[in-house]
Amino acid sequence: MQYDIALFSELCDTLFEAEINQPVAKPIPTSELYNQLDLSLHKEGIIDKQLKNTLKTVIKSTPKTASKSFFNQLFGGRVGKAALGDLLAVMLNNSMYTYKVAGPQVGIEKQVLKAICKLAGYKNDSDGTFAPGGSMSNMMALIMARDHKNEAIRAEGLSKQMTLYTSKESHYSISKNAALTGIGRNQVRLVNTNSKGEMLADHLEELVSKDINEGFEPFFVNATAGTTVLGAFDNVDNISKVCKKYKLWLHVDGAYCGGVIFSSKYKHLIKGLEHSDSFSVNAHKMLGTPLSCSIIVTQHKAQLHHSFSNEADYLYQTDGDDFNLGKTSMQCGRRNDALKIWTLWKSVGTNGLETIVDKQFEMANLARDYINNHKDYTLYSFNDSISVCFNYKGIPANELCTALYENSELMVGFGKFNNQEFVRMVTINSLLEKEDILAFFKTLETFVSNELLN
């Protein structure tokens, strides 16, 4: 093992070097992947020196999500203390289901959950858990809402057609989860948004009352804090009033931008969160931890337990339910995802997490200013968002992003809203500085003029 740790350290150096020297790895066409890299498995093993070289080659051609040229996804960068916590979790290798097996790691998870509940404005009766990702957090919310409406469903299954509501701009996991939980995709109602991509509470109410008249049973509303394309925030306050009136469970999907609860400057974007029934946030997005680190909290502690506990004599042999976290989780054996966010939080404090979140908005503001001050650009996104959407010289976004990627220049994706397609630059890497944002535009402009794309 000592040898492997030394090897790991050497491989990290290879990675760090590659991140600087070739921040966008040369993409390998899928048709050539198995020819270019030695990925096949054989009856006989290879000697350590060969293994080391193979691993180095794989590292070099793997996309560099922590590099300064990665703006492609809703995560990116590498925050040292969070990575440290995750590496430790691998070495400790606990499973979070029981106190007997995870010990103080249970306390670590509970402290994170308690602090998130507090920041969300949730009361004493709140609790939560770590899910395998934001999609699964949304599924846990949906299941709690379903059981909350009708406790018999856990034993008997669905007996009525239950309907749920989410905006047109929300994450696809809402529909997928409806299919997975027996609710059915056709029972998902897509609520219209305003011109900024925020859910319209009036239209929500219209859809709910129509469904009630037609004999459906509305039970769940999903509001989004940071929509996937534009990074828009649904108005939780207004939506919560409709939910209260019709007794609907309100979930706030903050996978992308729920991290604003840490920022005194930006938490107003999620105003009214304390009126929601559940809330999820991916620490691997705005808070900068490694994948995956998804947290779901609810104001209905008992419901979390009812929906996810199951007796198992062979597992729960010591300690109370409060410390045997398997009683409130989706999985049985569960990876320790809490240690990475806890290590970071402990190290930089709540104030440090606020700085991490604010920095992303600062960089987005800078990018928007640049776009507004340069006439070859058209801006499509809005203030108070870390998704900066634009087009350059009218070049189709899809063509531009693909060419930048294939030529190892930049990793950035494209999106669509109101039939307009645009480049979506995400300033989620809190380690980036002003010069990195300016370098992004400079690279893009030089590339376009050299390639004569325009």
Least distance to ligand PLP from the beta carbon of 226, Å? 6
Least distance to ligand PLP from the beta carbon of 227, Å? 6
Least distance to ligand PLP from the beta carbon of 345, Å? 19
**Distance in angstroms (rounded) separating the CA atoms of residues 240 and 297:** 17
Q: Choose between 129 and 324: whose C-beta lies nearer to ligand PLP.
A: 129
Say if CB 253 and CB 134 are below 8 A apart: yes
Would you call 422 helix, strand, or coil by DSSP?
A: strand
> What letter represents residue 357's amino acid?
V
**Distance in angstroms (rounded) separating the CA atoms of residues 72 and 65:** 9
Least distance to ligand PLP from the beta carbon of 323, Å? 26
**Distance in angstroms (rounded) separating the CA atoms of residues 309 and 329:** 8
Q: Choose between 174 and 444: whose C-beta lies nearer to ligand PLP.
A: 174
Phi and psi at 249, nearest 5°, equal -70, 130
Q: Choose between 73 and 408: whose C-beta lies nearer to ligand PLP.
A: 73
Contacts of residue 382, Cβ cutoff 8 Å, sequence gap at least 6 = 196, 230, 232
SS (H, E, C) 30-99: HHHHHHHCCCCCCCCCCCHHHHHHHHHHHHHHCCCCCCCCEECCCCCCCCHHHHHHHHHHHHHCCCCCCH
Contacts of residue 336, Cβ cutoff 8 Å, sequence gap at least 6 = 89, 92, 94, 95, 96, 102, 105, 109
Q: Choose between 135 and 289: whose C-beta lies nearer to ligand PLP.
A: 135
Burial call 353-389: b when 16+ CB within 10 Å, e when fewer: bbebbbbbbbbbbbbbebbeeeeebeebbbebbbbbb
Q: Choose between 163 and 292: whose C-beta lies nearer to ligand PLP.
A: 292
Least distance to ligand PLP from the beta carbon of 292, Å? 6
Helix, strand, coil shares of the chain, percent, nearest 5, are 50, 15, 35
Q: Choose between 282 and 381: whose C-beta lies nearer to ligand PLP.
A: 282
Least distance to ligand PLP from the beta carbon of 171, Å? 3
Q: Choose between 228 and 263: whose C-beta lies nearer to ligand PLP.
A: 228
Least distance to ligand PLP from the beta carbon of 73, Å? 9
Output the residue with the shortest Cβ distance to ligand PLP.
Answer: 134
Alpha carbon separation from 127 to 82, 110, 117, 314, 363 (Å, rounded): 23, 9, 7, 25, 34
Contacts of residue 415, Cβ cutoff 8 Å, sequence gap at least 6 = 228, 229, 230, 387, 389, 421, 422, 424
Least distance to ligand PLP from the beta carbon of 224, Å? 5
User: Could you list the residues that contact ligand PLP (CB under 6 A)?
Assistant: 74, 133-135, 171, 173, 224, 226, 228, 253, 255-256, 282, 292, 294
Least distance to ligand PLP from the beta carbon of 133, Å? 3
Say if CB 140 and CB 131 are below 8 A apart: yes
Least distance to ligand PLP from the beta carbon of 352, Å? 23
Alpha carbon separation from 261 to 164, 359, 383, 400 (Å, rounded): 26, 14, 18, 35
Q: Choose between 109 and 253: whose C-beta lies nearer to ligand PLP.
A: 253
Q: Choose between 226 and 392: whose C-beta lies nearer to ligand PLP.
A: 226
